[in-house]
Amino acid sequence: MSDASQPVDEVATKVDEGALGSFASGVQTTEEYPLRVEGLRKSFGGITAVDGATFQVESGSLTGLIGPNGAGKSTTFNLITGMIKPDAGTVTFNGEDITGRDPHEVANRGMVRTFQIARELSEMTVLENMMLAPQRQRGEELWRSVLPGVRNDVREQEEELLERVWEVLDFFDIDHIAEEYAGNLSGGQRKLLEMARALLTDPDMLLLDEPFAGVNPTLEKKLLKHIHELREQGYTFLLVEHDMDLIMNNCEHVIVLHQGRVLTEGTPNDIRSNEEVIEAYLGGNV
Amino acid sequence: MGIAETYSRGREFAIERPFALVLGVIAAYLLGDLLLGLVTGQTQFADIGSLVWDGLMRGLVIGLAGIGLSMTYSILNFANFSHGDYITAGAFSGWSTTYLLAGLGRADIGALVLVGAGGSVYGGTLGIGMLSTPLAVIAGIVVAGGFTILLSLAVDRTIFKPIRDEGGITLLITSIGVAFALRYLMQFVFGSDVRGTTAQPPSVGLYLVDGTVFIDAHDITLLVIASGLMLGVHLLLQRTKLGKAMRAMADNEDLARITGIPTERVVRSTWIIGGGLTGIAGYMFILWKGTLGFNDGWLLLLLIFAAVILGGIGSIYGAITGGLVIGLTASMSVLWIPSAFARAAAFVVMIVILLVKPSGLFSGRSTA
Amino acid sequence: MSVRDDIAARMPGGDAGLIVATLATAYILYVLAGVVLGYDLRGQLNSLATLTFYIGVFAMLSLALNLHWGYTGLFNIGIVGFMAVGVYVMALVSKPLYVAGGAAQVGGLGLPLIVGIIAGMVAAALLGFVVALPALRLRADYLAIVTIAMSEIVRFSFLSGELQQFQLLGTRVGFGGGSGLILDFVPPLEALFRSVGLWGVYLGFVDATKVIVPTNPKPVVDGLIYGLLLLAGVTVFFWLLKRTGESPFGRVLKAIREDEDVANALGKDTDRFKIKSFMLGCALMGLAGILWLMPQGAVTPNFFRPRVTFFIWIALIIGGAGSNTGSVLGGATFAALLYQGPRYFQNLVTTVLPNLDSPPGFGQAVGPLISQLDPVPFLLYTIDSIRQLQLVVMGLVLIWLMHNRPEGLLGHRKETASVISLSRPKAAAAATDGGSADGDVQTDGGVDVADSNGGVDDE
């Protein structure tokens, strides 16, 4: 929170200014812990995927969520963002109970996610993908888009959005593929597009589901740089990742999930030396 | 945690309860109305008995035809809209045989093969029936099944197989094309008139409280053949390796392929079993109701879809149960609503099930 | 990327040029056929009016379906139900009040035609809402079954004796049941011209056409003018749907078609968007149904069989779902070739060979072919049965399209979902380096995953 208002470098500042268009609220995390998850539980058939997970994510932090295969990481993400409804437990975001809310309601409140396998909208161009993201667009009302007089309002807003979209495209260095259909992008480019698109929803917090899977080292470095820059602007990140080194080197706080429960949490150093964690990883799967 | 649970449960209740409540009230009202009718003598027990019997028969046809649809739906992952016209095709091929055997020497062969197209020969005149011409009927049943198997294999080979990987909607649209091509080809060949196919079969009257319920020989034939075939499919799927493979494929095709199940062979078996049952269902439907027209299968198709969705796609017990429920609904609804809406009532039951339990009554129990 | 795209690109006037060229081709073919048939001018004009009529209704209907399926991915195969509700509600509202002893068994509310049309559209949209509310959350194939079941429920309802006649607002109204409903309101053209005070002018114009069509020119002129009005209707549909598609609203619809979960995760209330899109499409289907049946004088429930829905689907798939231009082209192609074409061919043959009796049934047709290798009776029977075979051909065309060109004749055509051009705004463009590579996807570090063409799924 404290460092949210400090501009970091030029590129980031540009985005930040762009982000403050007439429709944008900027980062508004008022809570020390914007995301609180308590006793989250979900079972499918007879299998309990998430079994009373409880944790919280600190404002402006880059928090990692790790765990062996089948620990319930993806399910936890889906439960937090409303993709599936929990059997029990609560999710609180910025002080508001959002348990069981629909995904769009969660996104409207400033928490947006990316998907493990990048889900670009393949028959839409990169630009269309990006233009989709901003919240509460006037033209999303059918009558405004269709009726002759009021369509000018929509046009005006589209022009503002477009400027911002191009700024974000520049920030992520994907401006050269802007006209391309998203389905034609390489895997890494899709990941960039997804993150850029998520950012355009003007969130306070981003949930990234394995953002580096299938991404080559050069791009990985670039993505990480972007994440750090954004974090310094005040965005909060929760990150699911398989690559241990990556988590250990970049996150200041790590949550370890095992069998649907939080096994332990702490700084990367704490985690590294934790016997239980080592055992979970060795015992669970190898 | 307690508050949260109460909250989420409350939310669920708010959504589900009014539904259950409304349904309960409607059911109670209908039952009350029926009982009142019985007490005041407006409705007769025998009438209800006849309707139940009628619904049961209809349900057997729907269930039998539904097994095939349900199997292809779950194993090939698409809603086959040409299924209704397979039923008609089975009926025409079978009845063509029956006419030929029953009427050989008594009428022009062409007229017999075309099932008396244009009123050239009547089934009633030929005295067709289970008891009067048993061999012709049994041969008809066999041919109906066999022909429909060949038809469904041929259509699969030439039309569905090349686009098997294109996704369910592509296949669905294609099957609509198949349906229209087949239906109007049959109209081209057999004409558009609805013909009577059987002579009045002998029947027995069962006394029921205040009247008689008539059960005829063709009802019994349908009952015996349909239950026999249903039992046979049950045994086939439960006891044989093929059945196991089919169930595995319905669950997860990719996994089945990886584990070495010969998927193409399973697909072929699916069409063989499904097609055979469908063709026989078509024949029995016509034997039972006594008339045949080129639209019969298509008109039955939506009821079959209703039954399959009601029972849960992929479950043969679901298809049978769904068939009986839909059949009884369509027949018995006339107790409360005008008969023009009987079919609509069956669709409404399907839509209600889709709302309340979209996965169907027997969900999660694939092909078993 | 397809050949067709090139054609569209080279066509003067772009999409509009393509549409005009297609229409012109169809008209020329029909005129030529008319010449062969020895039509007089009256006959030619009548046949062109009929052709225009069907091009108009099918283009409108496939545009409306394109909103459902092409834009939003909603698999509606109950189109005919919405058309029926539109027409019947319009009739209920606009038929004159019941007069005992009149030709009509039942009356209507006697309100102006325009009120009836709006009421019909609203009713179709409301039916859409009732269907959509439960069904939109379901899988595409379930929606398909629900919609077609609904359209049959609608047909049975209008067939039923219970709704044949009833009292509404103290007057005897009804839907006429199976024997149909006489549409005895003021003919639509008259109503239209009267409402703008030009009825006298129109009658004068009709009178003037006696120079070309000496006797009773009114039906001919009426037909042509109505056809032109339908084409104007197509233009309005096109304009409306183009604006709908090229907007933030349309962008969300497109996203829903591609991946509903993503749209939802990006904060879009996808259910609301789907319901709105569905209702708008249903209202347009209702309107198209009204425009189709309004001038026919009567309507029966059995007109609204599922085969009409099937026609519209073929029209859309011919043109290519997702493209408004494709929808119009598909509608026109379907109307000219598959719908009117075979009937025309039948006329052509019976005119050239007037005195041949076709056999009454398949048996008599195929008998001589087998016994004496005489194909004539079979051919005659085929031509006589062209209305059934037409549906066989349509089925085969649909199968062929799904096998060979599932994306339609226009190929993968996409219309950008935005109010403005999305190229870099000029101010921003000047600020950055001009060296952005155009179109080359792999310039960015060659990033790759195993499945790089995973984005071709079409749902």
The pLDDT tens digits for B192-248 are 889 999 988 888 888 887 888 888 989 999 999 999 999 999 998 888 888 888 878
Is any Cβ of chain B less than 8 angstroms from the Cβ of C457? yes
Is any Cβ of chain C less than 8 angstroms from the Cβ of A167? yes
The average pLDDT across B16-44 equals: 81
Q: Residue C392 and residue C186: Cα distance in Å, rounded?
A: 38
All structural domains of chain A, each given as residue ranges with its CATH number in brackets, are 10-284 (3.40.50.300)
Contact predicate C97/C110, CB 8 Å: yes
Q: Is the CB of C398 less than 8 angstroms away from the CB of B183? A: no
Q: What was the pLDDT predicted at C8? A: 54
* Chain A residues within an 8 Å CB radius of C267: 104, 107-108, 112, 133, 135, 201
Pick the residue from chain B with its C-alpha nearest to A91: B4
Alpha-carbon gap: A27 to the closest alpha carbon of chain C (Å) = 17
Contact predicate C121/C104, CB 8 Å: no
Q: What was the pLDDT predicted at C303? A: 95
pLDDT-derived band at C172, boundaries 50, 70, 90: confident
**Among C residues 260-279, those touching chain A with beta carbons less than 8 Å apart:** 261-270, 273, 276
Q: Is the CB of B173 less than 8 angstroms away from the CB of C317? A: yes
Is any Cβ of chain C less than 8 angstroms from the Cβ of A83? yes
Q: Is the pLDDT of residue C1 over 50?
A: no
The average pLDDT across A127-136 equals: 93
Domain boundaries, chain B: 46-356
Q: Is the pLDDT of residue C457 over 70?
A: no
Q: Is the CB of B4 less than 8 angstroms away from the CB of A85? A: no
* Chain B residues within an 8 Å CB radius of C361: 114, 117-118, 120, 191
Q: Is the pLDDT of residue A19 over 80?
A: no
Q: What was the pLDDT predicted at A11? A: 37
Q: Is the CB of A38 less than 8 angstroms away from the CB of B1? A: yes
- CATH of span B46-356: 1.10.3470
Of C446 and A186, the one with more pLDDT: A186
pLDDT-derived band at B108, boundaries 50, 70, 90: confident
Q: Is the pLDDT of residue C456 over 60?
A: no
Structure tokens at C366: 């195929």
Q: Is the CB of A158 less than 8 angstroms away from the CB of C418? A: yes
CA distances to C1, C9, C326, C403, C414 from C5, rounded to whole Å, are 6, 6, 11, 20, 11
Q: What was the pLDDT predicted at A24? A: 39
The average pLDDT across B347-351 equals: 83
**Among A residues 16-55, those touching chain C with beta carbons less than 8 Å apart:** none
**Among C residues 116-145, those touching chain A with beta carbons less than 8 Å apart:** none
Q: Is the pLDDT of residue C454 over 50?
A: no
Q: Which pLDDT tens digit goes with each residue over A20-43?
A: 333 334 455 567 889 999 999 998
Q: What was the pLDDT predicted at B355? A: 74
Q: Is the pLDDT of residue B260 over 60?
A: yes
Q: Is the pLDDT of residue B1 over 50?
A: no
CA distances to B63, B94, B274, B300 from B282, rounded to whole Å, are 11, 9, 12, 10
Is any Cβ of chain A less than 8 angstroms from the Cβ of C449? yes
Q: Which pLDDT tens digit goes with each residue over B307-341?
A: 998 888 888 889 999 999 999 999 998 888 888 88
What is the ipTM for the molecules in this complex? 0.88
* Chain A residues within an 8 Å CB radius of B251: none
Q: Which pLDDT tens digit goes with each residue over B150-173?
A: 999 999 999 999 998 888 889 999
DSSP H/E element including A37 = strand A35-44
Alpha-carbon gap: B4 to the closest alpha carbon of chain A (Å) = 6
Q: What was the pLDDT predicted at C168? A: 85
Q: If DSSP states are collapsed to H, E and C, what string results for chain B?
A: CHHHHHHHHHHHHHHHHHHHHHHHHHHHHHHHHHHHHHHHCCCCHHHHHHHHHHHHHHHHHHHHHHHHHHHHHHHHCCCCCCHHHHHHHHHHHHHHHHHHHHHECCECHHHHHCCCHHHCCCHHHHCCCCCCCHHHHHHHHHHHHHHHHHHHHHHHHHHHHHHHHHCHHHHHHHHHHHHHHHHHHHHHHHCCCCEECCCCCCEEEEEECCEEEEEEHHHHHHHHHHHHHHHHHHHHHHHCHHHHHHHHHHHCHHHHHHCCCCHHHHHHHHHHHHHHHHHHHHHHHHHHHCEECCCHHHHHHHHHHHHHHHHCCCCHHHHHHHHHHHHHHHHHHHHCCCHHHHHHHHHHHHHHHHHHCCCCCCCCCCCC
Q: Which pLDDT tens digit goes with each residue over A165-200?
A: 999 999 888 899 999 999 999 888 888 899 999 999
CB atoms within 10 A of CB A96: 11
* Chain A residues within an 8 Å CB radius of B4: 38-39, 88-90, 97, 99
Percent of chain A having pLDDT more than 90? 45
Q: Which pLDDT tens digit goes with each residue over B119-148?
A: 888 888 888 888 889 999 999 999 999 999
Q: What was the pLDDT predicted at B220? A: 92
Percent of chain C having pLDDT more than 70? 89
The average pLDDT across A230-249 equals: 88
Alpha-carbon gap: C88 to the closest alpha carbon of chain B (Å) = 18
Q: Is the pLDDT of residue B9 over 50?
A: yes
Mutate to test the interface with C, among A142, A158, A184, A189 (most CBs of C within 10 A): A142
Q: Mean pLDDT of all residues in chain B?
A: 87
Q: Residue B186 and residue B88: Cα distance in Å, rounded?
A: 8
Q: Is the CB of B8 less than 8 angstroms away from the CB of A38? A: no
Q: What was the pLDDT predicted at A282? A: 67
> Rounded to two decimals, what is the model's pTM?
0.88
pLDDT-derived band at C278, boundaries 50, 70, 90: very high
Q: Which pLDDT tens digit goes with each residue over C285-327?
A: 999 999 999 999 899 999 999 999 999 999 999 998 888 999 9
Closest partner CB to B191 (pick from C162, C361, C399)? C361
pLDDT-derived band at A121, boundaries 50, 70, 90: confident
Beta bridge pairs of residue A63: A238, A253
Q: Which pLDDT tens digit goes with each residue over C108-153?
A: 899 999 999 999 999 999 999 998 887 777 777 888 888 999 999 9
Q: Is the CB of A90 less than 8 angstroms away from the CB of B4? A: yes
Q: Which pLDDT tens digit goes with each residue over C69-82?
A: 999 999 999 999 99
Alpha-carbon gap: B183 to the closest alpha carbon of chain C (Å) = 8
CB atoms within 10 A of CB C459: 12
Q: Is the CB of B177 less than 8 angstroms away from the CB of C395? A: yes
Q: Is the CB of B179 less than 8 angstroms away from the CB of C395? A: yes
Is any Cβ of chain B less than 8 angstroms from the Cβ of A86? yes
Closest partner CB to B5 (pick from A85, A88, A97)? A88
Can you spell out the DSSP letters for C334-361? IIIIIISHHHHHHHHHHHHSTTPPPPSS
* Chain C residues within an 8 Å CB radius of A190: 455
Q: Which pLDDT tens digit goes with each residue over A39-73?
A: 999 988 778 889 999 999 999 999 999 888 888 88
Q: Is the CB of A88 less than 8 angstroms away from the CB of B11? A: no
Closest partner CB to A39 (pick from B1, B7, B11)? B1
Contact predicate A22/A231, CB 8 Å: no
